[in-house]
Amino acid sequence: MTIHFDMKASGRAVEQDAPLLEIAVVGHTNTGKTSLIRTLLRSTSFGKVEDAAGSTRHVERATIFAGSEAVLNLHDTPGIEDVYALQDELQIIASRNKRLTPNEQLEKFVLTTSLNDPLEQEAKVIRQILRSDVLLYVIDVREPVLEKYLIEIEILGKAIKPIIPIFNFTAAHRAELDLWRKKLAAFNIYASLELDTVAFAFEAEKRLYQKIQSLLEIHYTRLQRLIDHRARIWNQLCISAARRIAGLIITAACYREPTDDDRNSVDTSSAAIRLQDFVRQAEQNCLTDLLKMFNFTDKDVALQKIPVQNGYWQLDLFAPGILKAYGLDIGSAALKGAAAGAGIDLMTGGLSLGTASILGAIAGTGWSTFRRYGKEIQAKFQGTRWLCVDDNTLQLLYLRQHQLLDKLMNRGHAARHIDQVDQQPERGDPPDGWHGIINILRQNPAWSGLLSLHNHDDQYRLIEKNLVDALLNSKL
């Protein structure tokens, strides 16, 4: 996966001349080697993932970039299927060539194993191990610590390459994980890492690169550039996703359907149906955008149909938000003139002006005001009402999106289950000042259009920031 980001090369001269870091992902069959690479690539398309053992038959390579700079190659290797036969063959080589070092024994095995040999697949693995700088040994902690796994580790150790065990499927298997750690300690292997390929955590990926830094000094600076780049990309991704959700909430809260229907028939009116369809389609469009951002598909997340309830909305000419939108406050000349004409002292009478006086004050603010609220003012005198999404539905919409964002940020690209966005999330609270936010949004129907056109509006930006901060609270 190439993430484009302009970056100037830097670092020590010894690193600049060094070849790319070569990483072999090794282990027994069906432990999650291909899944690990998918997670690191943020891609569901690499390799082949199946429940059956031996899905990977050949060594496959993928390159990870920091912007335009290639940093490392990941090599997905076949599983070691017959570790006992491999052990026997290495022992034969050692007995016949007593002067060979363990590393040379592996090289001899690769050279003497022909095509179609029963150990041809193991030879592919050993060949890649010898060519690599570091080995990621993937362990399915749900498996018992069998003798064959310990033999694998012993054979890998002959290559005299740094080994980092990657514990996969760690959720709800803490006891098994502790046992694996104890067994690895017998081989003086302590630099292990929990990196679940199904339940993704960006910090775990960051720690992986940091562990490699501590083992391979020559690649330290290059890996640091990768860490910094990926952190920026991840933060930008999460913020963009939260802004997209904020846009959905703003659009839904601002949206109205004019209606003259009787209140008793509102649930079956055409206006109510249009409103429900609008909200459901808006949420579906948001889901589509979020899936693209995180490089998932509609096969990864199921969005249950949201129940949409309706409420009535009418322009309140006396609402502080409306008056502020008109540029009217206690000190405005227009409002003072209206109060004087009505014989009201603003300091003692508050904003208790009549409708006619308020309209007179508004008229003094100019044509731009009427261009914004002209329809509402006209409708107020004609008795027209609007259907809007009620408070409970908006809160439900927010909680569903909060749940969706959490699932996307913590879903690995090797996950094969379908995440469900609940129709009625049981937990969660809206942001502080939620009702005030909704009231302001309802007073700004123009914000339901192209949201990018309103980024210059201070009030809009503040609402968007509050929503984004609430969605990402403690997530970054």
Are residues 26 and 154 both part of a single domain?
yes
Structural element, H or E, at residue 441: helix 434-442
Domain that holds residue 368: 240-472
309, 173: one domain: no
Question: Which letter, b or e, does each residue of 192-220 get, where b requires 16 or more Cβ atoms within 10 Å of its Cβ?
Answer: bebbbbbebebebbbebbebbbeebeebb
Q: Decide if 447 is inside a domain.
A: yes
Within this chain, do residues 322 and 384 fall inside the same structural domain, yes or no?
A: yes
Quote the pLDDT of residue 389: 87
Q: Domain boundary at 159, 182, 215, which?
A: 215
Q: Are residues 141 and 268 in the same domain?
A: no
Q: Which domain CATH number covers 180? A: 3.40.50.300
Q: In this structure, is residue 229 part of a structural domain?
A: no
For residues 201 and 279, membership in a common domain is answered with: no
CB atoms within 10 A of CB 2: 12
d(CA 267, CA 465) in angstroms, rounded, equals 34
Specify the residue for token string 């933060």.
Answer: 235
- Per-residue pLDDT of 227-240, as tens digits, reads 999 999 999 999 99
Cα separation of 456 and 56, whole Å? Answer: 53
User: Tokens for 17?
Assistant: 């001349």
> Most distant CA pair in the chain: distance in Å?
113
Among 198, 215, 232, the domain-final residue is: 215
Domain co-membership, 183 together with 313: no
For tokens 């796994």, name the residue: 149
DSSP 8-state class, residue 430? P
User: Residue 6: inside a domain, yes or no?
Assistant: no
Q: Do 34 and 178 belong to one domain?
A: yes
Residues 36 and 169 in one domain: yes
- Residue ranges of the chain with per-residue pLDDT less than 70: 1-18, 47-57, 260-268, 310-384, 426-427, 449-455, 476
The pLDDT of residue 417: 84
Tracing tokens 């009201």 back to the chain, one arrives at 344
Residue type at 67 in one-letter notation = G
**Residue 296 within a domain:** yes
Assess if residue 228 is contained within a domain: no
**121 and 154 in one domain?**
yes
Torsion of CA 228, 234, 238, 239, to 10 degrees: 40
DSSP 319: -
Q: Which residues pair with 21 in a beta bridge?
A: 72
pLDDT value for 44: 80
**Whether 335 contacts 354, CB under 8 Å:** no
Same domain for 300 and 190: no
Q: How many folded domains does the chain comprise? A: 2
pLDDT score of 450: 62
pLDDT of residue 74: 96
Q: Are residues 356 and 406 in the same domain?
A: yes
Within 13 A of 457's CA, how many CA atoms are on the CB side?
A: 14
